[in-house]
Amino acid sequence: MSARSLLAFLAVCAVIGLLGFGLLSKGSAKIEVGDRVPDRALPVLGGGGEGEIADYRGDWVLVNLWASWCPPCRDEAPTLERWWRAHRDEGVAVLGINVQDNSQDALAFVDEFHTTYPQLRSVGDERSEAFGSTGVPENFLVDPKGRLALILRGAVDERILNESVDPIVEGS
Amino acid sequence: MARLACLILAAVAAFPTAASAKVNISDVEDEVMCPICGTLLELSDSPQARREKAFIAEMIAAGKSKAEIEDALVDEYGPAVLAQPAGSGFELSAYLVPAIALLVAAVALAVGVARWRRHGDGDGDGTPAAGDAPGDEDSARLDADIARYDL
């Protein structure tokens, strides 16, 4: 191989490598049931320190990724609040993580729907990518050891909670 | 003299500076992204984009400068909200790669032109290079053509 061919080959490899790195570094994670839940400390929505999923270790946690501008999130918020109130004394928590939103709108949403379960805030898309999220809302049931027990893409309603989540939580 | 100084000060104070100039929403919309859509905000009409536009409009109404609005957007939506890539990390390649490509193309063009001129000029005195002289067969064909057209 001549020096010129080698140089051209290296240049093509460099371009392909650069494109590949760019694609991989922006790609979403893939998570599955049984995986350890992606977790990191996030600011509490509205201020007041930080929180993370690990704070609820020992309890079942339904992690809800949501945004105020998303109509299905508006539909499911009252359902989640009712479900949490019904189960919170049974070692079950609902943890909202606000994503892809601005904090002012997110707080207005919490006020509007009178949600009282804990809320964290992720700036931008970082948590959505960590959860391999394809949109909002999405819900992830985390077992007491911090592993994913159920992944629910899309909004939940009473039926989904009763038929899919309750049997897992109550059967433990 | 004091009156003149007062007049100058008043005129300077009344002159709108860049910082105090009213920001137009379109000035910001074409420099920030709708992060969910992956397009410029000015081209987006998704629910998230509409809330982002409302957020910008509120900041403008509050008298914030363009830089302050962009900083606030980064605080709320993350660095991906800026249309222009950051000048650090992997995103630096967005600036470096075109610059390097331009440099490589310029060098290749210069080398190519120099080589072409060297070959084109023959020995450099304007006469054709020895390799460019027609062969016997070509000369004979040329003579035949000239004879045929009676030139």
* Residues B45 and B100 occupy one common structural domain: no
Query: What is the rounded CA–CA span in Å between residue A165 and residue A76?
Result: 15
What CATH number has the domain bearing residue B37?
1.10.8.640
Q: What ipTM was predicted for this assembly?
A: 0.75
Domain shared by B37 and B80, yes or no: yes
Beta carbon pairs, A and B, within 8 Å = 47
Which of A11, A21, A102 is closest, CB to CB, to B77? A102
Residue B141 lies in a domain: no
Is residue B118 a part of any domain in this protein?
A: yes
Question: Domain limits at B114?
Answer: 86-122
Across the interface, which of A18, A71, A103 has its CB nearest the CB of B76?
A103
Tell which CATH architecture fits domain A31-170: 3-Layer(aba) Sandwich (3.40)
| Least Cα separation, residue A166 to chain B (angstroms) | 32
**Claim to verify: residue B80 and residue B102 sit in the same structural domain:** no
> By the CB < 8 Å criterion, does B80 face chain A?
yes
Q: Which residue has the tokens 């300077």?
A: B12
Q: How far apart are CA A15 and CA A11, in angstroms?
A: 6
Task: Give residue-wise pLDDT tens across range B41-74.
Answer: 999 999 999 999 999 999 999 999 999 999 999 9
Does the pLDDT at position B92 exceed 90?
no
**Closest B-chain CA to A68:** B48
B79 and B90 co-located in one domain: no
CB nearest B47 (choices: A18, A25, A70)? A70
**In chain A, where the domains are located:** 1-29, 31-170
Q: How far apart are CA A116 and CA A114, in angstroms?
A: 6
In a domain, B39, yes or no: yes
Choose among A11, A71, A102: nearest Cβ to B55.
Answer: A102
Task: Tell which of A68, A102, A126 to mutate to test the B interface (max B CBs under 10 Å).
Answer: A102
pTM for the whole thing?
0.70
Q: Which of A69-83, A99-113, A126-140, B8-22 has the lowest mean pLDDT?
A: B8-22
Q: Is residue B5 part of a domain?
A: no
Three-state DSSP at B60 gives: helix
A10 to chain B, closest Cα gap in Å: 14
Helices (H) and strands (E) in chain A — how many of each?
Answer: 6, 7
Beta bridge partners of A96: A64, A119
In this prediction, residue B18 carries a pLDDT of 47
In this structure, are B79 and B93 located in the same domain? no
Residue B138 Cα, gap to closest chain A Cα (Å): 35
pLDDT band with cut points at 50, 70 and 90 for residue A142: very high
Sort out which chain A residues have CB atoms less than 8 A from B35's CB and list them.
100, 124-125
If asked whether residues B111 and B54 sit together in one domain, one would say no
For the beta carbon of residue A53, count every other beta carbon within 10 angstroms: 21
Same domain, B106 and B69: no
Assess contact for A28 and A133: CB atoms under 8 A.
yes
Residue in B48, B90, B93 closest to A100 by CB: B48
Give chain B's domain count.
Answer: 2
Measure in Å the smallest separation between the Cα of A123 and chain B Cα atoms: 5
Residues whose CB is less than 8 angstroms from the CB of residue A41 and which lie 6 or more positions away in sequence, other chains included: A50, A51, A52
Domain assignment of residue B77, yes or no: yes
Tell me what the mean pLDDT of segment B1-29 comes to. Answer: 65
Closest by CA position to A95, among listed A157, A30, A140, A46: A140
Answer yes or no: is B11 within a domain: no
Does B131 have pLDDT greater than 70? no
Shared-domain flag, residues B100 and B52? no
CB contact, 8 Å: B79 with chain A?
Answer: yes
* Integer Cα distance of B120 and A88 in angstroms: 87
DSSP single-letter state for residue A53 = G
